[in-house]
Amino acid sequence: MRVTGGTGTVVPVEGDPAASEEDEPGWPRYWPLLLLGAAVVPGGLLWVLHLGNRWMETPAMQAWRTVCLAVVVQALPFLLLGTLLSGAINAFVPARVFQRVLPRRPVYAVPVAGVAGVILPGCECASVPVANSLIKRGVTPAAAFTFLLSAPAINPVVLTATAVAFPGDPAMVLARLLASLGTASVMGWLWLWLGRPEWLRPVVRTSGHRTGRHRLREFRVGFQHDFLQAGGFLVVGAVAAATFNVTVPRSVLDTFSGTPWLSVGFLVVLAIVLAVCSEADAFVAASLSGFSPVARLAFMVVGPMVDLKLIALQAGTFGRAFAFRFSAATVVVAVLSSVLIGGVLL
């Protein structure tokens, strides 16, 4: 396990003296092979790199790389904020705080957690690690998932952005608030009813601060681990979103905008595929002026709850079995809730 290549970092050699003793006398036997390798490998590598470079510089690949990086760059600060918060919850907030704030019965804890989503001002990337840390601290998963869904959709930053994007249309803000809160709560109850713990990756229940360990160090190490993990999955999501973005031209999808039902379906698919951050999706929705208000509401309700980068993040945090089932159910509930509430209010 001695990794020194690539990054150019000099890594201190430690441990494993046996391995290095075997290495030394071993190498002369293979020296012709090594020499051949030394001659061929760099040349081959350069050739592959050259071809790869030419391919990467084609307009399509450049657009793909730009979109990919854009999603990562946009999401990283929020991911960092989310993992910071979750690290802080793990290290500094005692478990009894949650027991005191949330009602004992999970059925009541769900809507309370939904409304509590108001306090996390960030986009959806931040809420995944926070929800995870809530579960680790003994909050019932149903309530944590409700929080996970509602926080990015109903916090003041997002609602303000929605009001700005739809000037003179306060019904849209209200509809978004209600439809998102409704979806989040229904999903929480649905989990209580149908959810199975085995879908979740077994949670390493941390009891928070362990005596005899440095709190600040605990915080830093946990936060760092969560960030690196979630960051990796963010990249997976960004790659998926960019691939859809570049390979499926918008003009193909726009043919669906004619009929009302198809247009709702289309904007829902767009929300999942575009992976727009919840703080800005209202502006995107406002710009989709060819679509019905209900379809645009569905776009804003689904977007913060399900998209490619979120599915990747959830798969990384809670496990794949959970992420796919949960996301699919959320889409259905969110569409129903936006059609219902949008139909009444808009």
Partner 1 sequence: MRRALRMTLLLLVGAGLLRVALFTDLYLRYVKQGMRPLLIASGALLVLLAAAEAVSGARRREDDGHGDDEEQEHGHGHHASGTPRAAWLLLPPALSLLLWAPPALGAYTAARQPAQPVTRASDFDPLPATSPLPLTLSDFTRRVRQDDTQAIKGRVVRLTGFVTPGGRDGDWSLNRIIISCCAADARTVKVRVRSPHTPAADTWVTVTGTWRPGGTLGTASAPVALEARSVRKVAKPVNAYTDALLPAPSE
Binding residues for partner 1, rule: CB under 8 A, are 1-3, 7, 9, 11-12, 14-15, 59-60, 62-63, 65-74, 76-77, 80, 204, 206, 217-218, 220-222, 224-225, 228-229, 231-233, 235-236, 238, 241-242, 245, 249-251, 254, 274-277, 279-281, 283-284, 286-287, 289-290, 316
- Provide, rounded to whole angstroms, the least separation between the CB of residue 178 and partner 1: 23
Taken in order 201, 123, 73, 89, the sign of the CA dihedral is: negative
Nearest CA to 297 out of 190, 187, 153 is that of 153
Nearest CA to 275 out of 125, 108, 90 is that of 125
- Nearest-angstrom CA–CA distance, 268 and 262: 10
User: Is the distance from CB of 92 to CB of 98 less than 8 angstroms?
Assistant: no
- Provide, rounded to whole angstroms, the least separation between the CB of residue 90 and partner 1: 9
- Provide, rounded to whole angstroms, the least separation between the CB of residue 162 and partner 1: 12
Nearer to partner 1, 173 or 187 (CB): 173
Report CA-CA distances (Å) from 234 to 119, 128, 179. 23, 11, 26
Nearest CA to 237 out of 273, 198, 277 is that of 273
- Provide, rounded to whole angstroms, the least separation between the CB of residue 303 and partner 1: 10
Provide the 10 A C-beta neighbour count for residue 243: 15
- Provide, rounded to whole angstroms, the least separation between the CB of residue 206 and partner 1: 7
Report CA-CA distances (Å) from 163 to 151, 276, 279. 17, 18, 12
- Provide, rounded to whole angstroms, the least separation between the CB of residue 14 and partner 1: 6
- Strand, helix or coil at 292? coil
Nearer to partner 1, 312 or 339 (CB): 312
- Nearest-angstrom CA–CA distance, 185 and 177: 12
- Nearest-angstrom CA–CA distance, 95 and 90: 9
- Provide, rounded to whole angstroms, the least separation between the CB of residue 83 and partner 1: 11
- Nearest-angstrom CA–CA distance, 159 and 102: 24
- Total residue count of the chain as it appears in this document: 346
Nearer to partner 1, 105 or 217 (CB): 217
